[in-house]
Structure 1
Amino acid sequence: MSTKTIERSFPKITEEGLDALRERIGVKIGVTAEPWCYEATRDNIRHYAHGIGDDNPLWCVPEYAQKTRFGDVIALPSFLFTTSRIISGYVGGLPGIHAMWSGSDWNWHKTVNRNDTITTEAWLKDLVVHNTKFAGRAVQQTYHVDFFNQKGELVADADSWCFRTERDHAREQGTKYKDVKARQLRRYTDRELADAYRLYAEEKIRGAEPRYWQDVKEGEALPTMLKGPMTVTGFIAYAQGWGGLYIRANKLAWKLADAHPGLGIKNRFGIPDCPERVHWEEEFALEVGAPGAYDYGPERASWLTHHLTNWMGDDGILRNATCKIRRHNPEGDILFIKAKVKRKYVENGRHLVEIEQEARNQTDELSILGTGLVELPSRG
């Protein structure tokens, strides 16, 4: 692993900056960067699904979806990440302070149908100061976003949060990834890869076969889902469907950097480039204290919901899902998502199943914690 970095110093978190940011709490946010997707078109839905490795025909194959109760393809729940830069980690305030997307709490109220147009309302919800192993003092910055369709109906609402960290402290004094950075480059054997890929070969999409609430047992395990091995190619595939936060080219890249001078960070050529390149440029990832180029946070939240939608089938409805990120997934990691049914109950006529999820890497290090609340069809 290369450890060559550019010598420089980054801005610090200040009390003045925090006070200014606190004044924004509860204030609706006006026009920011436009979303990657305004509409849930067939292609936009499919591109996002493929960006997380999800080939469910309910989102991807109109000929299949036309035979379901929906009559056409619908958007997978996590597609809404493409319709709001804010839910995806576009934070305000504290210029020059690194932002790491760290979790979300989603509620879905209505299906997003093909060609629905999505608009949003958002505001800063809370600021909490923490002391972390990764970067010492860090600020948890939480936003709330409401999502509406073209009829003005609320289709979903969500909170998401980023941790704002000092890049110098994370690189020089952070202890979380000390052991990871000291490791020798891992090379997988063909046998190790074959054992992992068996999970892809056996991955089952429940699809048209209903999973009835009566057939679910508390404590039962969901099938393990594989994600990875992590590659920069995979991270870019996600960005293609999701749109990224700051990925721009040529004139549009210049316009963004010109409007937000603190955004562009010079690369090895002296050219200001976006901080998002931590996801594909190992050298810069090491500068901010990460263990190497790593996956996206919303990508990981979408893997958890993919796990749930595979299990619940076409007639299930995902009502709520949470994601809490516990570590980076750097290039070379393999992730195993596991889950079990915590409880099942009936509320307001809905037959609900609460699910607990966790994902660990190839060395059993905890990467993600999640929960899901699924409404299932009931016999009779």
Structure 2
Amino acid sequence: HQGLDNAMEEVEGLKTEQLKQLEQVARLTVADAREIVFKKSEDEMKHELARRYWEIERSMQEEADQKARKVITMAIQRLASEVVSEHTTSVVPLPNDEMKGRLIGREGRNIKVLESLTGVDVIIDDTPEVVTISCFDPVRRETARLALQNLVQDGRIQPARIEDVVERAQKEMEEGLQKAGEKATFDAGVTGLNPDLVKLLGRLKYRYSYGENQLQHAVEVSLISGMLAAEIGANVDVAKAGGLLHDIGKALTHEVSGPHAEIGAEVAKKFGIHPEVHRAIMEHHDEDRGSVEAFLVAGADAISAARPGARKETLEHYVKRLSELEGVATSFPGIEKVFAIQAGREVRIMVKPDDVDDVTSTTLARDIAKKIEEDLVFPGQIKVTVIRETRNIEYAR
């Protein structure tokens, strides 16, 4: 045993001596050599991991793109909708051409009353047995069409009667807006909305963006959002409600300033909408979106708008120009109503008689004309008409 122990010690001594000689030749310690080996292995592993990561990432991206295309394609295939183009005129048929003279009235007073109450252009020309109503605002145009239709059927055409009929047509329009909103919520499968919000939604039936009907677009976006949400496991109810209400800000008039997404989100919030739906409405045009449903609504909005024939540019620019023209006049105090007529060649302003007297109305017309010149670019000239109407009513008893 003693001999074996001595031999082992000798072997260990030789190994130690060899290591020392190796360190001297290589000018490296064992610890340094170990560090070099580890470093080389680490670099090789990093390179291999980076290559593997890149391959996996590319594979996942391709797979994600394929799945996204599949989900979107399935949603589009499941949705069938019509394309409805916008017009700026409506036609009312007449029983005979004699009715044209009665509609115009003595010195044109009947037609003037109708135009001033509804804010439209009533065009009576040589076209047999029809009257054309022209206005860029579809709600005003439809109100005038209903009023004119009722007047023709009734046969009693004089200023006081025209006022009654227009008032009734406006009420009829309000009821129609409510029904249109309710039908949209039913078609989209969205429940639990405030009735006033539903009525506001109904106004989109008479609003167009690039020639695309906004209520039809809202229902379409709602359905696509819901389908996409169901495919990826997001909240279907939030996505559908967000899609239906994403453009609710467009239902408000030009008197409310600001981006339609922000306006719509604030209105929806006022009517007690779910916070996630509010977020989807607010963020559907933002680059930085905080919720999955907001991304889905934005995607569905883009899909709906990208359909062939869905949108047209020219009409949108025309409507925007007339809205801006009315907006300039509305910014002055004492204004009651503003109507841009004659394709924007005339702006007719109704003032509050208690706030604006005859002298001030002259100055007001000049100030509005000056502001239009400063703020807007337009061909030719724009006629600014300020109308101040006073009424004194007494009853004989």
TM range (shorter): under 0.3
Report which structure shows greater RCO (CA 8 Å, sep ≥6): 1
TM-score (normalizing by structure 2): 0.21
Quick check: which has more Rg, 1 or 2? 2
TM-score (normalizing by structure 1): 0.21
Where is the strand percentage greater, Structure 1 or Structure 2? 1
Where is the helix percentage greater, Structure 1 or Structure 2? 2
